[in-house]
Structure 1
Amino acid sequence: MIGCRCEIAPPTLLLAVAEQGDPEVRDAALRTLLTSAALRSRRSALGPVLRRFGLSPADLAFLPAQAPDTGPENTVYDVAGGEEAALPGRRVRGTTDPPSGDAAVDEAFDGAAATAAFYREVFARDSIDGRGLDLVSSVHFGQRYDNAFWTGDQMVYGDGGGGVFVAGGLTRALDVVAHELTHGVTQFSAGLQYRGQSGALNESFSDVFGVLVAQRAAGTDAASASWLVGEGTLEPSLGRALRSMIAPGTAYAGDDQPADMDAYADLPADDDPRNDNGGVHVNSGIPNRAFAEAARTLGGEAWETVGPVWYEVLTGGRLAPTAGFEDCAALTLTVAGERYGGGSAEQDAVRGGWEAVKVRLPADKR
C-alpha cells in the first residue's frame, strides 16, 4: 500500500465536526486530523518497503513487540495519552496474561484475538501477514483522539470522546478492530495503493472482512445482518454508524457515500482532507454494496458464501496494486466461477451485486 493513512474515520467526517462543533469539539477534531497527518510519513514508507523486499515486520528486529521463535503473540500497550513518539507504550497485557481491568486494553486484546481466529479458522491464514506476525495494539493514544489506525506494523486506538466517537467506542466495536487489522492483510497481499479506486477497494476489503468477523462472532447470517460498520460508535447526534454497506450514504448525517457509479465522486488524490485521498472512504460504498447485495442474494453465512471469493481476490496474487472497480468485479466473477462453477448461484449473485452498483462488467463475464 502506498500512502496509506488506514484510519477508520474519514477525514471529511472529522472536518464536518470541526466546522459545526463548539470550540472544544472543534479543537479535538482538528487535533485528530493534524496528528493523523504527522503519522502519514511512517505509514507511507513502511508498507511499500516491506513489500518490495518480501518482508514482514516480524523480520525486522527493531520494530516493537516482535518475539522471534516464540510464535504469534497478542500484546496490548498503554500509550497513556502520548502520541507517535510514545508508541507502543507500557506493556499491559500479553497472550497468557489475565484480563487487565482496563476496558480498552481488554477489548483491544479480545478484538485482535477474534480477528486472528477468524482468519486462521476460516481461511487458514497465519496471522495478519500469513506468517505468524505478532499482534501489537496500543490504546489511550493522544488526548480525546477520535480515530483508530493501522500503522503498518501495529494497531493504535484513541479513546474518542472528542465529538465524533463515544468514549471507548473504538475498541468496543469488533468490526472496527477487524477493519483496521485487515488493512494489514491487504498490506501483505494485494498491496492496494491508497488513492482513488484502488484506495476505495482497500477500504472496502477492510469493511467487508471487518463486518464478517463481527457477523461470525455473533452468529449473524446475511439476511438478518445490519451491514453497518461501527454501529453505535458515533456520538448519537451524528448518526447510527460510520458506514452502511447495504445502503451507502445513510449511516450518519452528512454521509457522502454514493450507492452506485452514477454518483461516483471523482476527487483528486491530494493532501486536502476534503478530497479523502481521491475518495477512498467516500467511494468504498460502491464495492461495499456489491458485496452486501451478493451476500444477501445467497443468504446463509456470508463468510462461507461470498467471503471466500473476496478473500481469494485479495490474497491470491491476481489483484494489481492499482486495480480499479472493474478489475475487482471481473476477478470476483472469475473466482466465483472457479470456486462454485460457471453459471452457479454464487457467480450469478456476484454478478448481480456489481450490476446493482452499475460497475461495468467485461462482456465475456456476462
Structure 2
Amino acid sequence: MTSRAPSSHTSPRCTFIPPWLAELVDGPEQAARDEALRASREGRARSAGTATVDLDAPAWTVHDAGSTTSLPGTPARSAGQPETGDVAVDEAAAGIEATLAMFAEVLRRDSHDGAGAPVSLTVHYGSDYNNAFWDGNQLVFGDGDGRVFERFTKPVDVLAHEFSHAVIQHTADLTYRGQSGALNESVADVFASCLKQRLLDQEAGDGDWLIGEGIFTASVRGRALRDMAAPGTAYDDPEVGADPQVGHMDDFVETTADNGGVHLNSGIPNKAFQLAAVAIGGTAIEGAGRIWYDALIGGDVSADADFAAFAAATVAAAGQHADVVRDAWTQVGVEPAATGGAAVPEAVPDTVAAARLRVERSGGFIGRTESAEVDLDDPAQTGLRGLVADAGLTGVDPALDPTPRPDMYVYTFTLDDHEPVCVPEHRLTDLQAELARRVLQPGSVAD
C-alpha cells in the first residue's frame, strides 16, 4: 500500500465535504457557528431499537434554520404539502420523497430505521455553510458560500448520500474511521448514485457515476465532488486543487486525517461497486445495489469491517452474480477472503510547555484538510499560550464520546513533537473552537 496525503505536510491529522476542500473554502469560524449543533447532539441514541415512531407524524418534514445553527429550525414543509417557493426547501422535499420511494419500492425498507421513522431535514443551516451531514437524528444542509459551492440541496444525490448514512447507522453501523469509515462513505455514495440514475431512468452502463454534480459553482473547474467510475478525476482547479481520491489498494492512503482517509479511500469500494453494477447490468439499484444492501443488513458486516470483510459479504449475497462481484473487488486490489484493517491511533500530549502549536481541521462532506502552525511565544499571539492551557489540550475527558460522525469535522491540536489531540466537531468546546479560530485564521481575536 502507498502512504500519501493530500497535502504537503506530514504531521498526523485526524474529518459530504472532505477536509482537503474545506481547507481552501471554509474558515475556522465554522466551529463557533456549529456550537449549538454540537450541544444538541449530546445523548442522541445511535440504536434503531431506542426510537419510538409517531404514527401520526408526517413521513418527512423540512425545517428552515434561518441561517442559524439552531436545530431543527422552523417547520417549512411536510409530506403532502405543496411547494413553498423556497428553492432549498422544495429541493429537499423532492429529494427525500424520491429517496424514500427508492428504498421502499426496490429494497422494501421503510425509512432509514426500517420501521417508518419520520425523517427530519433542515435547510438554510448556518451562514454560507459549506457542508451537509447526518447528525444521528437530522439531515442538515448548508446553502454554500456561492463562491466555490452551490447550495447543498441542489444535487439530489447529496441528500440521498446523507440519508444513506442514517440507513447505515441503523444496520451495520460502520465505525466512521479507517476502512470501515471509508465503507460508510462508499455505501452512502452507492445509494446516492443509484437514486440519481433512477431519477434519470438510466441503467448502470449509462450512468455518469458522478457524486455531487452541480455542487461546484461555474467558476470551479470540476465535474463533481467524486467520480465512482474514475476516482481521482472529478475536479482539477487552480484554487480547489486536484481530486486526491484513490481507486485501488495499491494507492491506499495511510493517514490520520479525515478520520483515517474515509473520503480518500472510499474511492476503492466505490470503483468496485461501479464495476459490479455495470457487469451485472440493468439498473444499479436493482442489480448491484440490492446485493450491497443485502450485505449491509445480512449480519455478516461488523461495525469495524474492513474492505475484505465487506467484499466477502457482498460476494455471499450476490447469488448467481458472485463471480462478477468477486472480480470487481479483485480489480481494485481487494481479495474478499482476506482480513485486515486500519486503526487510527489516539494519544494525548501531557504538557503545554511547548513552543509551537499546530491546528488542523479535516473531514466534512468535501473531506479536505486545513492547517496552520503558530509560535506560542510570538509577541503578536497575545494570550494564546494561556488559551492553549485553558482549552484542555493536556488531557481528554474519558467520559466524552470520541466517535466521529459522518461528514462532520475533526479538529487536531498538536503541540511540538507530542502526540496529537483529536476532537470531533460535536465535542469541541468553546475554548477549543476559539483556539482553532485564532490559529487557522491569522489575526483573528476572541469575540
Q: TM-score under structure 2 normalisation?
A: 0.68
Whichever residue aligns with residue 230 of structure 2, its letter is: A
2: CA distance between counterparts of 1:250 and 1:312? Answer: 30
1: CA distance between counterparts of 2:337 and 2:144? Answer: 44
CA RMSD of aligned residues (A): 2.0
Percent of pairs with identical residues = 45
Aligned to 2:132: 148
| Deviation (angstroms), 1:72 | 4.8
Whichever residue aligns with residue 99 of structure 2, its letter is: T
**Any conservation in 1 of the 2:46–2:136 contact (CA below 8 Å)?**
no
- Which of residues 249, 273, 278 is equivalent to 1:261? 249
Counterpart mapping for 1:155-166 below 5 A: 155-161=139-145, 163-166=147-150
Could you say if the C-alpha distance between residues 267 and 45 of structure 1 is closer, same or farther in structure 2, counting changes exceeding 3 Å? farther
After superposition, give the CA deviation of every residue in 1:331-351 in whole Å (9 maximum; x if it has no partner). 1111113xx3xxxxx222211
2: CA distance between counterparts of 1:208 and 1:352? Answer: 18
Given the alignment of the two structures, is residue 204 of structure 1 paired with residue 186 of structure 2, yes or no? yes
- Which of residues 262, 267, 274 is equivalent to 1:285? 267
Aligned to 1:25: none
After superposition, give the CA deviation of every residue in 1:156-190 in whole Å (9 maximum; x if it has no partner). 11001254312x3x112111100000000001110
**Any conservation in 2 of the 1:155–1:180 contact (CA below 8 Å)?**
yes
Could you say if the C-alpha distance between residues 31 and 261 of structure 1 is closer, same or farther in structure 2, counting changes exceeding 3 Å? same
Aligned to 2:222: 239
Aligned to 1:343: none
| Deviation (angstroms), 1:29 | 4.1
Whichever residue aligns with residue 49 of structure 2, its letter is: G
Counterpart mapping for 1:71-150 below 5 A: 72-83=58-69, 86-150=70-134
Give the strand-richer structure, 1 or 2.
Answer: 2
**Any conservation in 1 of the 2:210–2:228 contact (CA below 8 Å)?**
yes
After superposition, give the CA deviation of every residue in 1:276-312 in whole Å (9 maximum; x if it has no partner). 0101111000000000011112222111111111001
Q: TM-score under structure 1 normalisation?
A: 0.82
Aligned to 1:69: 55
- Count how many residue pairs are aligned between Structure 1 and Structure 2: 318
After superposition, give the CA deviation of every residue in 1:17-62 in whole Å (9 maximum; x if it has no partner). 24xxxxxxxxx4434466568856765863xx432x8223xx2xxx
**Any conservation in 2 of the 1:215–1:225 contact (CA below 8 Å)?**
yes
- Which of residues 200, 203, 224 is equivalent to 1:218? 200
Could you say if the C-alpha distance between residues 314 and 97 of structure 1 is closer, same or farther in structure 2, counting changes exceeding 3 Å? same
Unaligned stretches of 5+ residues in structure 1: 1-6, 19-27, 60-65, 269-274, 341-345
After superposition, give the CA deviation of every residue in 1:239-266 in whole Å (9 maximum; x if it has no partner). 1111000100011122111110000001
| Deviation (angstroms), 1:230 | 0.5
Could you say if the C-alpha distance between residues 244 and 205 of structure 1 is closer, same or farther in structure 2, counting changes exceeding 3 Å? same
Give the helix-richer structure, 1 or 2.
Answer: 1
Unaligned stretches of 5+ residues in structure 2: 1-14, 237-241, 339-447
Relative contact order, higher structure (CA 8 A, sep 6+): 2
Given the alignment of the two structures, is residue 55 of structure 1 paired with residue 50 of structure 2, yes or no? yes
